[in-house]
Amino acid sequence: MADSTPTEAEAACFEAGIKFGSLYHQFAGTPLSLESAASLETAIEESIENQPHCAGVTVEIQREELEAELAESSADYTELTGRFLEVEIVVDYEGREVVTRMAMEDGYPLMKLESVRDTT
Amino acid sequence: MADSTPTEAEAACFEAGIKFGSLYHQFAGTPLSLESAASLETAIEESIENQPHCAGVTVEIQREELEAELAESSADYTELTGRFLEVEIVVDYEGREVVTRMAMEDGYPLMKLESVRDTT
Amino acid sequence: MADSTPTEAEAACFEAGIKFGSLYHQFAGTPLSLESAASLETAIEESIENQPHCAGVTVEIQREELEAELAESSADYTELTGRFLEVEIVVDYEGREVVTRMAMEDGYPLMKLESVRDTT
Amino acid sequence: MADSTPTEAEAACFEAGIKFGSLYHQFAGTPLSLESAASLETAIEESIENQPHCAGVTVEIQREELEAELAESSADYTELTGRFLEVEIVVDYEGREVVTRMAMEDGYPLMKLESVRDTT
């Protein structure tokens, strides 16, 4: 029977997933306008970077998507959702560096594991 | 039978309540440290100010409370909760100005309606 | 100078607003399918009914809207948002009964104060 | 230079992490009492099971912890937080089964990767 104990690299990937799920479900639904987008980006980055093993978070709220949605609407704000988000998160766990990214794919905000490297 | 149609002042108070409930339940649970407190304050203020009839939001994350909690903990961050929050929200609805405040009272984050004024 | 002390009825309306903001921003973003809609309705109702002065919460996730959205999508679930929600909340505060409702209006989830009655 | 392309097992662990982060940050802060605990457990399980590759979610809100907290409080409800949660999530991704668990450890809600197995 094969050993089922997780490797360091697998644990690093688990940690990266936690950050993504946290980021999305903490902040989805936040009232969002062109004026408030920059402060929300910064707050999301700095809050998620507090989490253990988180080496860096970059959040880019897509201004063109946001402008397009607001142009069609009678309101001057909307809610943060995956459609407006591009995110990169780098996790460093016991010498394993994991790079992950979220962006829209086929109308669905896809979270992707990009690379796993041993940096020891 | 008495008329049950809400007055402008009552509608203004309803709007103020919406902002408070939104603010608290959108952001409670956000990972929080001394380093990230300032950016979170700004993002909360600017995002809730997007909501209709919201004339001003002031958020003060209580640094002493936060320091005290982190000093007792093995982690270097915690989660945003009512214990760390002082908030003032001013709503202006059809010429009625409502001032509301949240602060701790007996260990519970109390949201209070402070004043309702006709500014027409 | 006019007195700006809130009336009981105004405080009741403030409480009703808090419940609405809480409900929406706590649960918006929850993964949602036709199978999980019923349990989410019940959990939203029972959790918000815990809040002070809350006499009753009725949540109806709009199955037709949900089916229509899922039919257009490659995924078999979506996220809870205002488009799928009809909500009624009744607050009873110091003998004032406030009835509030949320439903879509012009593509925006509108929260409305319906009636304020003195039941003393 | 080593290949940094993620393995299937690593991708499975990333997916498991996403579910955990989502679960926690979607539902932390929900108003919670002994009466509403059961419906919240069911709603959390069924909503997270909607997410891709999620083979099973078990949520147990710790009634004893909850009773103890409410006994010390003047309120008859509190907010859902890690202190009250025991969670198991099983992910099945391309024939890799990942078992993960969350429980309190040293006063902090620890999310742990328990096992990763090849079931092909």
Residue C15: band (very low, low, confident or very high) from pLDDT cuts 50, 70, 90: very high
Q: What confidence tens digit (pLDDT) does each residue in A41-83 have?
A: 999 999 999 999 999 999 999 999 999 999 998 889 999 999 9
* Of D10, D22, D118, Cβ closest to residue A10: D10
Question: Is a pLDDT exceeding 70 seen at residue C1?
Answer: no
Instruction: Return the ∠ at Cα C92 (arms to C90 and C98), rounded to 5°.
Output: 50
For tokens 């109308």, the residue is A107
* pLDDT of the residue at D2: 65
DSSP string for residues in A56-115: EEEEEE-HHHHHHHHHHSSSS-EE--GGGEEEEEEEEETTEEEEEEEEEETTEEEEEEEE
**D120 SS3 class:** coil
CB atoms C108 and A75 under 8 Å: yes
Count of CB atoms situated within 10 Å of the CB of A105? 10
CATH code for the part of the protein at D8-118: 3.30.1300.20
Q: What is the pTM of this model?
A: 0.96
* Beta pairing class for A85-93 and C96-105: unpaired
How close C116 comes to chain B (CA, Å)? 5
Average pLDDT value for residue range C111-117: 96
Would the CA dihedral through C48, A31, A19, D12 be positive or negative? Answer: positive
* pLDDT of the residue at C2: 65
Nearest CA in chain B to C48: B21
Is A15 annotated in a binding site? The answer is yes
Average pLDDT value for residue range C5-14: 97
- Residues lower than pLDDT 50 in chain D: 1
pLDDT mean across residues, chain A: 95
* pLDDT of the residue at A75: 86
Question: Digits of tens for pLDDT over chain B (120 positions)?
Answer: 567 999 999 999 999 999 999 999 999 999 999 999 999 999 999 999 999 999 999 999 999 999 999 999 888 999 999 999 999 999 999 999 999 999 888 777 899 999 999 999
Average pLDDT value for residue range A15-24: 97
- C-alpha span between C9 and B10 (Å, rounded): 7
Nearest CA in chain C to D76: C50
- D-chain CB neighbours of A25 within 8 Å are 21-26
Question: Is a pLDDT exceeding 60 seen at residue C55?
Answer: yes
Average pLDDT value for residue range A23-51: 98
How close A85 comes to chain D (CA, Å)? 16
- D-chain CB neighbours of B106 within 8 Å are 74
Average pLDDT value for residue range C44-56: 97
* pLDDT of the residue at B2: 66
- A-chain CB neighbours of C71 within 8 Å are none
ipTM over 0.85: yes
Would the CA dihedral through C59, C64, C69, C70 be positive or negative? Answer: positive
* pLDDT of the residue at A113: 96
Q: What confidence tens digit (pLDDT) does each residue in C56-79 have?
A: 999 999 999 999 999 998 889 999
CB atoms B106 and D25 under 8 Å: no
